[in-house]
Each structure stands twice: as C-alpha cells, then as structure tokens.
Amino acid sequence: MDQNNLPMPINSNTKSSKWAENICYILIIIFNLSTWIDLNSVWIELPLIINSAPERWTLPSTLSLVISFANIFPLIVVVLRWKLGKRFSEIPYIYIIIIVGIIACCSIGLFWDYTTCFFGAERSVSLIGAVFALAMLDCTSSLVFCDYMRHFKAKYLHAKFFGESLTGILPIFIALAQGVGGEAQCIMNNVTLHVQPIYSEPRFSVSTFFFLISGIIALSLISFMALRFTSIMKLANADDQHCQQTSIESYEKLLVTKENSSESEKRSLSAPNSMTQKEFFILQTSNVVNSAFVFGCLPTLVTYSLLPYGQKAFYYCNILFPISYPLAALYGLIRPTISTFWIIISSICGCLICAFIIAVAFQSPCPIWADTLHGGIIIIAAWCFSSFILAYVRVASGNRIKLAWKKDNGLFYYGLSIQIGIIFGVVPMYFLINIYQLLKERQPCDIYCF
C-alpha cells in the first residue's frame, strides 16, 4: 500500500489544547463574575429596597456617593503599584475582593432593612456600610482584574469583558424569578380616614436574593483558584509571557477596520505595538467622560428619571438596562474594535442620550410624558441605548489598548480611568440632589401632573 495515501493521524495534542482553551475561557468568564455582580444586584433590587429605606428617592445618590468614596482603596493600590513596580502582585487583592464580597453580600441579606438613628434621623446604616465595603472592593477590581489579564494572551481579554457583562444579566434572571413587587396600592384607612400605600410583595425576599448572589461569587473564587493552581493555563498555552508579540494576522483581524483598510498594509509591515501616546490619551479621556455619565450620573438619578413613569417602568428598566452590556460584549466578538474617530463619535452619541435622561430627571416629579406608557418606553429605551453604545466603546477601547499600547500598564490605567470618571459624575449629582435638593420626589398616593 502506498504510504502517501494513508490517512493522517489525528493530533491528540491539538484536541486537548483546544479543549483546554475552552475551559480556560470559561474559567476567566466565571472568575470575572465577582467584579461587579454584588453592586449590580443592589441596583437591581432598588425597587424593593427603596420602599423600606428611610432615604427613599435619595438612596441611589447616597449609595453612589458612598461608592465614590470607596475609590480611596483603588488609589492606595495605585500608589503601591507605583512604589513596588514589578514587585507588585495583584493576586492578594483579588482574594480579598472575592472573599470579602461573599461576606458583604451575606451581610446585606441579613441586615438590608435594619435602620439606625444617625445625626438625628433614621438611616440605612447597615445597608450603606455593606455597599461601601462592596464598592471598595469592586472599584479596585477594575484595576487588579484588568492587571491580572496581562498574564493572558489578547484573545482571552474578551472573556474578561464578557464575564464582567454577565454581572448585570445574572442577577436579572434571579430578579425575574423574584417578580415585580413594590407596587403601591392606595387603601383607605378606616381609622385615620387617610389613604395609605400598601406595597405588593415579590415571590421571595431581598435576603434570599443576596444569598443567591453570594453563591455566584463563591463560584468565582473556585474558578480563580482553578486558574492559579491547576495546569489549565499551561495546557491552553494561554500565558502571554510565552508569546509577547501578537502575530500580524491576528492583529490585523482585531485592529484593522474597514474604514482604515488603506492603512492595513502599513500596519502589517510594522510591529503590533504602534499606538501613539496621543491615541492612548484620547482613549483614556473618552473612558473617563463615558464613565462619568453612565456609571456616575445616571445611577444617582435612577429614581427621578423612572418612577414618574410608574413602578413597572422602574422595575423593567432595572431588568433591561444591565442586558445592554452583554449585548455590547457579544457585538464585540463580531467587531472587536474601531478606529479612534468612531470611538469619539460613538462617545458623543452615547453621552447625548445620557444628557436627555438627566434633563428628564431634573423635571421630576412631572417630566415630559409622565404617567404615560409611551413615556416609560422612551425613557427605558434611552437608558438601554446609552448603556449599549458606551459599553461597546469601552470594550473597543480596551481591546485596542491591549493590542497596540507598547507598555504593559495600559489596562491598569484603563481601569483607573473608569474610577476617575465615576467620581466626576457622582459628586456633583450628590450635591444637587441631597444638599441643594433641586430634584423633587413623588409621595405615594398623591396625584401629580394635572
């Protein structure tokens, strides 16, 4: 028999390597679930928490300010990284973030509705304290989790973005099973002869919700330990240290867009690390501005922009809004990045939609189209579209920095720019809402907008 006609043997190493790559990708996704899932869960549960909290409509702005104050811990990490240089290790901080996250979520489950007299008024001290702990950890995760991804090849960065995007969508499934709840029914009190609100109950409590979230974070810890203490990274050949130079073919696939196809030949002849300092500064600046709007301003105004359209509008927006990030991450699989010009244009469009939401909030308690179905649909659509656009800009910017920035600290500063943007967005809004009281809330069972 002719030896040349024999079938080629199947390479078992190739099969095992592909299997290992898939497992490594999944582990990175699960590991990154612990980044923001706890804080996202707090926002998703706000329709139920607000009715029991003494702060009522001002609670989101208070929590947003607390989250901003928590950025002191990331600043400490930044200083340590500058001082220690290559001796800095993000591993201990990741363990702290995940383990304390589990404990804090369980604390919210136990004490979310406890109030304490503080500065002469009842306040949700237990809830605010637990959120501060979670924020301190989650804000730091933007730095150290991004920094940890420098150990992996560029193709695994999308697993980080996708896992982070699921931190919004997984609590949604739990919230859907939980049901709406919190709708006020105005009942006449036969004793006082006054109308008083009676709020509907969900299928299970806020406490049960947060215990389930704690379980998801525990899975994240297990995944991180699997990445650290098993040979999965070696089997998948995922360690970026073994392959610092990205191949020209993969770089062109990820970085070259249809709009700049005329430049593809020039890039293919040069090294992949070709981002200029000006481009790097533009990407980081857009990240600061976008984060100020979508992560800073909007969360503080969630009650004022949505509750004038009804409890269901508030509930469904909290359900649909977090889905925008996963959709943006999925779109990032098709188009991993875009040119600097389109990043700027997309940022402007997303911020303009955010500005519309802010304008609606400042018209509370009687904004345009209040108490109408089409008004609720429009404001929910605005929340979702702004999140999708700015989330995709974030993914595209992160991919470009990972692939083209010539230094290994690009993703670290990329994560830092997010936290700076949040501070710029939250602090002014807190003063406008809580100190100057420029926004007005509705009282249950009162009639408005007539």
The pLDDT profile of the chain, 450 residues, written as one tens digit per residue, is 444 554 444 455 666 688 888 999 999 999 999 988 999 899 889 888 988 888 888 999 999 989 888 878 888 888 888 888 888 888 998 999 999 999 999 999 999 989 888 777 888 999 999 999 998 888 888 788 888 888 888 788 888 888 988 888 899 899 889 887 666 677 776 666 667 777 778 888 899 999 999 999 999 999 999 999 998 888 888 876 544 444 334 434 444 444 444 444 344 333 345 788 899 999 999 999 999 999 899 999 999 999 999 888 988 998 888 888 888 888 988 898 899 999 999 999 999 999 999 999 999 999 999 999 999 999 999 999 999 999 999 989 988 888 888 777 787 788 889 878 988 999 999 999 999 989 998 887 777 886
**Position of tokens 């990154």?**
32
Residue 445 lies in a domain: no
> What is d(CA 231, CA 53) in angstroms, rounded to the nearest whole number?
48
Number of domains within the chain: 1
pTM value surpassing 0.85: no
Residue 444 lies in a domain: no
Between helices 373-404 and 248-255, what is the axis angle to 10°?
A: 160
Residue 4 lies in a domain: no
Closest CA to 61 of 290, 292, 303: 303
Q: Is the peptide bond before 365 cis (omega within 30 degrees of 0)?
A: yes
Query: In this structure, are residues 235 and 20 in contact, taking their beta carbons and an 8 Å threshold?
Result: yes
Q: Tell me the CATH number at 372.
A: 1.20.1250.20
Residue 440 lies in a domain: no
Residue 442 lies in a domain: no
Residue 264 lies in a domain: no
Residue 427 lies in a domain: yes
**Local structure of 75: helix, strand or coil:** helix
Residue 265 lies in a domain: no
CA distances from 198 to 195, 237, 449 (A): 10, 59, 22
Q: The domain containing residue 25 runs over which residues? A: 11-256+271-435
